[in-house]
Amino acid sequence: SSELTQDPAVSVALGQTVRITCQGDPLRSHYATWYQQKPGQAPLLVIYATNTRPSGIPDRFSGSRSGNTASLTITGAQAEDEGDYYCKSRNSSANRLKVFGGGTKLTVL
C-alpha cells in the first residue's frame, strides 16, 4: 500500500464544493502535488507546491496542507472536473524518491 492514503471515491453535486484529501507522513515535511486524470488520458498537473496552479488550470482548483494531510478543493465543481485525482509527494524515509497516493475517483452529480 502507498505511503499516501486517499479516499477511493468522492461525489459532489454540480456547482458545489468538494474536498479531496491525501494523508501520510511524507506530507509533514514535503509538498503535495495533485494530478487529474480522465479516462484514456495522461495525467494533468492541477496543483503543485501544495497550492500553486499551473497556467490554464481554473481558479476553482485550490490546495492546502495541515499536518500530515493535503487537500485539493474544487469550489463550484463542473461536469468536466469528473475524473481521478492523484496526490504525489516525496518518500518520507528517502526524500529523493517520489510516491503517489492511491487516487480518488470524483463523480459530479
Partner 1 sequence: QVQLQESGPGLVKPSGTLSLTCTVTGDSISNSDWWSWVRQPPGKGLEWIGEIYQTGSTNYNPSLKSRVTMSLDKSKNQFSLNLNSVTAADTAVYYCAREKKGSDWDGARWFYYYYMDVWGKGTTVTVS
Q: Which residue ranges make up the site for partner 1 (CB under 8 A)?
A: 2, 30-31, 33, 35, 37, 41-45, 48-50, 54, 84, 86, 88, 90, 94, 96-103
Q: Which string of b and e fits 62-96 if b means at least 16 CB within 10 Å?
A: bbebeebbbbbbbeebeeebbbbbbbbbbebeeee
CB nearer to partner 1: give 61 or 90.
90
- Cβ at position 63, least distance to partner 1 in Å: 11
- What is the smallest separation between the CB atom of 103 and partner 1, expressed in angstroms? 4
Rank residues 33 and 62 by Cβ distance to partner 1 and give the closer one: 33
Q: Least Å distance between CB 16 and partner 1?
A: 25
Nearer to partner 1, 14 or 97 (CB): 97
Strand 9-12 versus strand 104-108 pairing type? parallel
